[in-house]
Amino acid sequence: MTDVWSRRAFLSAAGGGALLLGAPAARAGAAPHEEVHDALRAVWRGLCLGGDIPAAAEPFRSRLADLGALSGGWRSTMAPAAGSLWPDLGYGGDPEMMMQSYYRLRTMAEAYVRPGTGLTGDAGLLSALLTGLDHLHADVYHAGQVRYGNWYCWQIGAPQALLDLCVLLYEELPASRPADFCAAVDHFVPDSVVGSYTGTSTGANRVDLCRVLALRGVVGGDSAKIALARDALTPVFPYVTAGDGLYRDGSFVQHTWVPYTGTYGAVLLGGLGMLFALLKGTAWQVTDPGAQIVFDAVERAWAPFLFNGLVMDAVSGRAVSRGLMVADPRQVQQDDHGRGHALLAAILLLAEGASGPERTRWRGLVKGWMARDYYSRPLADTALALSSLARLAEVESDPSVTALPEPVGHRLFASMDRATHRRPGWAASLSMASKRIAHYETGNGENLRGWHTGSGMLSWWGDSFGNGQYSDAFWPTVDPYRLPGTTVSRKVLADGAGGDWGASRPDAAWVGGTTDGEFASLGQHLRGLGSTLTARKSWFLLDDTIVCLGAGIRCSDGTAVETVVDNRNLGAAGTHALTVGGALQPAALGWSAAFPSPGWAHLAGFGGYVMAGSGSFKVLREARTGRWSEINRGGSATALTRRYLTLWYDHGTDPAGAAYVHQMMPGATAARTAARAAATGWLSVLANSETAQGVSVPSLGFTGVNFWQAGSAGPLEAGAPCSVTVRERPDGTAAVCVADPARVLTSLTLVWNRPVAAVLSRPPSLVSEATGARLRLQFGSLTTAAGAGQEVVVRLG
């Protein structure tokens, strides 16, 4: 099982400013090399504790008191016995309980060294800490012990906590103990763990392992270990083209197939920030120029997924199922806001090692995200570590820092089948899957019903509304077959269907699209998980709307197939008014109805929907009850009930070519939704078939087409499958963006039947062009472009 004191929580617990406040001075008479290690311990102590926090001021006073009460309770229940340190954490068959035991001791050590806990310098607490450390060392975590169960517990979780304990309690430990503990770490984390950049020693895991090695060197006075840790970071920095790590387009992947910017990516970011701060100004300072890639990634990889203080669930993998965990002593629910707050603190830590302009901008971004997080105020986050809380409080109170607004624009992360679309007033994210990226990730009994996350899940938030949409018990209570935006078969799937660690990848290559940086044309060749379902789905992400097209929807499962327009979480008691075609609909739970399409609907407090296809759409208002334990084996079994308003298309049983067309308008009023529905000339659907899907919006100068096969749609002709976005600009120029999402084209011809006077700029992939009455572009091989767009700028004729 995995609980609240898991990798993510422990990362934030270790965050803090690179300060020496509260650290012991170097020992009198120590040799020069010993003084260096003493100084490094002092730096790490500052990082762990976050500096000299104002213990008498809120929110710190209450948090410190809670820390003392929690630690006092653990001291009173500690009962060393064979196979356990606490009765509820038996580790005889589960090393996670051993790891949790070290986590408890580390928390207790903070209560001992921090002022304001009521246990500061308490002799009884120190005695319990020393007893606990000795017991775990003698009973389970020592040289010669045979490893069992989850590798992470032995090589990252337990040793990180143990080494932090050594730093925090260094002056209190018996003289022989640091060496004994270091011998245990050497046994489980030998130098060979970073001998090759493979397996469990890549990406965020490699950074975690380097942290263990560096702290082992600091605690044990071993300079070679510190140097090894620094040098072993080198493979983390370069962009990757497959597997774990950062990609040139800003994607971050862990476990080979899973988008993980929000959790493993946050571990990597925070871990590097800690190590950069530890080693800065020493003989082991990280000077590899590749480290700049990480600094660049703050705005290229992480910032696009942060909105109003939350980090989007599309890049948090199985962590979305970690809500209320049984093992959490505080019983605080984890969610997208909590993960976001820890990430904000990690960015601030990394900023201390960045350039002056980067530091200034990042602090402004963080201050803005904090100010706009009305749903879950960061400084009121009781799950956030005190060190992280201190860092956020410092930037919030700094009058020299100007809060920056949310960025506006579109970002396509082709290497992890994700996209974000940010407009004034709202933001959205899209999750897809391909042979390169898993439908979802399960593992360790987590995220057991995330099956359809990659089937086109479309999530969105308003600037001042809907920010708790996926935070408020969404994942345990939503119908897992009706995630918003998805097209799915109602075929019943087993918990964890498809296999652990991203094993469930569809045999589909054409997934991706094109963007000019503001608007986009995205597409997915959908193949259902454990299903015969196939479909072609496209999204055209524009100014105030997302145009959604589906075609070629086929299935032979013998079950119904549905496309979910949206599925809004109304909270525990929401009665948000629904209007369809101008008529107010019933608010009673259990009400359901079908409505003809074309038509429109508006949900008060959220936005509008314009249905432009033929047939009908359905609506259901219901209350759903679920438990975190149903989607995560370590979750709480407490029943939770939330109300939902669902709009969907019922394609019937075993459809043989079904289709749909609709717009989603976040934040739109009923009047604006009705006006859009009546404006039949605003949007032209150029194609919606298994050959191509495309739209044109003349008022925006936008034309977008996803060609599933060679063919034509509106003014565009493509000689092979590709995605095309055209933006005509008021200055008489246009951008023509082309991509090969399948990554198989050795050549591509594109024709735009529009007079063009000249080509103003071209990518290296363009081998020839012809202008005049129409534009003809000839591209060479796009197989190595990783699905990235090729932009050609022209002057219109």
CB 514 within 8 A of CB 531: no
Give the residues across from 564 on adjacent strands: 648
d(C-alpha 195, C-alpha 680), whole Å: 63
CB 259 within 8 A of CB 315: yes
d(C-alpha 786, C-alpha 436), whole Å: 11
Residue 102 token pair: 């070290």
Q: Which of 746, 750, 745 is nearest to 713 (CA)?
A: 750
In this structure, what are the phi and psi dihedrals at residue 746, rounded to the nearest 5 degrees?
-90, -15
Residue 360 token pair: 């200034």
d(C-alpha 38, C-alpha 32), whole Å: 10
Note the pLDDT of residue 442: 98
| DSSP calls for 572-633 | SS----EEETTEEPP--TT-EEEEESSEEEEETTTEEEEE-SSSEEEEEEEEEEE-GGGTBT
Note the pLDDT of residue 51: 84
d(C-alpha 207, C-alpha 194), whole Å: 10
Mean model confidence pLDDT for the chain: 95
d(C-alpha 411, C-alpha 306), whole Å: 13
**Residues with a known catalytic role:** 255, 264, 318
- Mapping DSSP to helix (H, G, I), strand (E, B) and coil, where does residue 131 land? helix
Note the pLDDT of residue 448: 98
Low-confidence residues of the chain: pLDDT under 50: 1-30
- How many of the other CB atoms lie within 10 Å of CB of 199? 10
| Separation of first and last alpha carbons in the chain | 64
The whole-model pTM stands at 0.93
Note the pLDDT of residue 35: 86
Beta strands 616-626 and 583-584, pairing class = unpaired
Please name the helix (run of DSSP H) or strand (run of DSSP E) that holds residue 549, with its range, or none. strand 546-554
How much of the chain exceeds pLDDT 70, in percent?
Answer: 96
Residue type, 525: H
| Full set of structural domains in the chain with CATH | 7-397 (1.50.10.100), 409-679 (2.70.98.10), 682-797 (2.60.220.10)
CB 659 within 8 A of CB 504: no
Neighbour-count burial of 259, counting CB atoms closer than 10 A to its CB (0-12 exposed, 13-18 middle, 19+ buried): buried
DSSP 502: T
- How many of the other CB atoms lie within 10 Å of CB of 389? 25
Q: Which of 723, 725, 734, 721 is nearest to 771 (CA)?
A: 734
Please name the helix (run of DSSP H) or strand (run of DSSP E) that holds residue 185, with its range, or none. helix 177-188
Beta strands 252-254 and 245-246, pairing class = antiparallel
In this structure, what are the phi and psi dihedrals at residue 790, rounded to the nearest 5 degrees?
-115, 110
Give the residues across from 703 on adjacent strands: 696, 726
d(C-alpha 104, C-alpha 77), whole Å: 12
CA atoms within 13 A on the CB side of 543: 10
Residues 6+ apart with CB under 8 A from 649: 562, 563, 565, 613, 615, 616, 617, 618, 658, 660
Note the pLDDT of residue 34: 74
| DSSP calls for 87-122 | TT-B-SS-HHHHHHHHHHHHHHHHHHHSTTSS-TT-
Extract the runs of DSSP E, i.e. beta strands, from 667-754.
684-688, 692-697, 702-707, 711-713, 716-718, 722-728, 733-739, 748-752
d(C-alpha 783, C-alpha 193), whole Å: 34
